[in-house]
Amino acid sequence: MTPDHGELLYEGKAKRVFALPDPGQVLVEYKNDATAFNAQKKAQLEDKGRLNCQISARLFELLAVAGIPTHYVGLAGETWMVVQRVEIIPLEVVLRNIATGSLCRQTPIAQGTQLDPPLLDLYYKDDALGDPLLTDARVRLLGVADEARLSAIEQLARRVNGLLLAFFDAIDLQLVDFKLEMGLNAAGDLLLADEISPDTCRLWDRRTGDVDDRILDKDRFRKDLGGVMEAYGEVLKRVQASTSNPVNCL
């Protein structure tokens, strides 16, 4: 069922954002559209919106309980969530616990290397530019955030990583790497925003040693491994088993 909402404010690759009567909040709809490689590969994956919305809601709630400031307010249906309205900082904050993906394509670091401390990479959020990897100097040059804010972003991302690593570990999932986005609300608070789901995290199943079978995230879609929604469904099942039911706020 579609909740009451105002005008469409923004449509991205995986979500739509609608106005709500409270100007401090927006309604987010998770779509079934799947994209990879900067939207060069596209598909419709039945049920993806619901799975990602429900997984994200539970992860935002557990982070909020642990004291992480997030934009999440509550669920508003199977594919809908109410969040605080934020201005997104145009940085993709990637945390890596195990080397894979672009890190191994761009450097000689071997696949599967444990990264201790976890590596934090910042990318400039701009589809037209292909979300380029930034250097510290380029972050400063772009002026997307001052020193104090950059340090707050890094601290928040590392705290989130610590909490999610432990949470996923307890349900036999290895958090390999993931991408976060952050934003500022009207009061100027830095909040964790966007989503946390198998679209934005690499999750490996500790219950199997097979290097393909263990993949329970968007790499199944990127690499044409099949069983994409079954994998996301397994993640939701395990996340549901170890979290309480999310608040319904509409």
Single out the segment in contact with ligand UDP by CB under 6 A; choices: 23-31, 62-70, 94-102, 135-143: 94-102
**Whole-number Å distance between alpha carbons of 67 and 210:** 36
Single out the segment in contact with ligand UDP by CB under 6 A; choices: 97-105, 108-116, 230-238, 242-250: 97-105
Residues 36-75 that bind ligand UDP (CB under 6 A): none
CB 86 within 8 A of CB 184: yes
Beta partners for residue 177, in sequence order: 96, 202
* DSSP 3-state percent helix, strand, coil across the chain (nearest 5): 30, 30, 40
Residues 172-191 that bind ligand UDP (CB under 6 A): 177-179
Q: Does 33 sit near ligand UDP (CB under 6 A)?
A: no
First to last CA, the chain: 12
Q: Which residue is nearest to ligand UDP (CB)?
A: 101
Single out the segment in contact with ligand UDP by CB under 6 A; choices: 70-78, 100-108, 135-143, 226-234: 100-108
CA–CA–CA angle 142, 147, 23 (5° rounding): 75
Question: Contacting ligand UDP (CB under 6 A), which of 20, 27, 75, 94?
Answer: 94
Residues that contact ligand UDP, how many (by CB under 6 A): 13
CB 77 within 8 A of CB 2: yes
What is the smallest separation between the CB atom of 242 and ligand UDP, expressed in angstroms?
Answer: 21
Question: Contacting ligand UDP (CB under 6 A), which of 71, 218, 220, 238?
Answer: 218
Residue that is written with structure tokens 């079954």 in the block: 230
